[in-house]
Amino acid sequence: MGNHLSAKARAILDFIARTQAERGAPPTLREIGRRFGIRSTNGVRYYIDRLELEGLIRRRPGAARGAIPEAPTAPGLAILGQIAAGDPVLSEEQIEGRLDLERLERGSPDFALRVRGDSMKGAGILDGDMVLVRQDPTPRDGEIVVALIGDESTVKRFYRRGERVVLQPENTDFDPIVVTESSPQLRILGKVVGVYRETV
């Protein structure tokens, strides 16, 4: 034993997980209620609260079908903070989090783009690196973006200067690109949310 969760709560968790797997989306509160003979959505909510407290369910408040079972196994790579001498590298104490490309903290990317040239060397983005891009045509000042200038895609830092947009390289060997905001030559594809490189 040791687990203070009722059999009914378990059955509900199982139902949610199975529904999600079978048809691609979790059930609604009312669907759960119908299945278990609970007539009030609040009765179902009572169980969802319980499951969430146990960490068995993740919840997105307000969203339809927002009760989502936590995956049993953690995906991605273990992130270590500072490695301590002594105990083995992958021991629990050393694990700071998990790295999963499709679930970043700050915003999950839509695609990766291979970078050509050294114009962003100063920002640690080298020739051949891949930038992870979140599609978003409205970057904020100072963010690194992927832009299409005419026929060329380019990675630069984005600044708005009145009517104009400045695409600023981070390498003194290169000059900034300045265009009017409404230019048909300019298309902002998205912003860079991550950088990735394979070495060796």
Partner DNA sequence: TTGCGAACTGAACATTTGTTCAGTATCTTT
Partner DNA sequence: AAAGATACTGAACAAATGTTCAGTTCGCAA
- Residues that bind DNA in the complex, under the rule CB under 7 A: 6, 8, 28-31, 33, 37-43, 45-47, 50, 59, 61-67
Which DSSP letter does residue 154 get?
E
Spell out the residues 6+ positions from residue 157 whose beta carbon is closer than 8 angstroms to its own: 120, 123, 142, 143, 144, 145, 167, 168, 169, 170
- Closest separation in Å from C-beta 125 to DNA: 31
Active site residue 119: yes
- Closest separation in Å from C-beta 22 to a second copy: 5
- Closest separation in Å from C-beta 26 to a second copy: 6
Query: CA geometry: angle at 91 spanning 86 and 94, to 5°?
Result: 80
Residue 41 binds: one of DNA, a second copy, none (C-beta under 5 to 8 A by kind): DNA
Active site residue 40: no
Distance CA 117, CA 10 (A): 55
Given 40, 121, 156, 182, the catalytic residue: 156
Residue 40 binds: one of a second copy, DNA, none (C-beta under 5 to 8 A by kind): DNA
* Residue closer to DNA (CB basis): 32 or 115: 32
With tokens 């270590």, the residue in question is 80
Residue 24 binds: one of DNA, a second copy, none (C-beta under 5 to 8 A by kind): a second copy
Given 6, 40, 119, 153, the catalytic residue: 119
Residue 105 binds: one of DNA, a second copy, none (C-beta under 5 to 8 A by kind): a second copy
Spell out the residues 6+ positions from residue 133 whose beta carbon is closer than 8 angstroms to its own: 109, 110, 111, 112, 113, 146, 189, 190, 191, 192, 193
* Residue closer to a second copy (CB basis): 4 or 23: 23
- Angle, helix 41-53 to helix 7-23, in steps of 10 degrees: 90
Distance CA 143, CA 113 (A): 16
- Closest separation in Å from C-beta 25 to DNA: 8
**Amino acid in the structure at residue 16:** I
Q: Which residues belong to the active site?
A: 119, 156
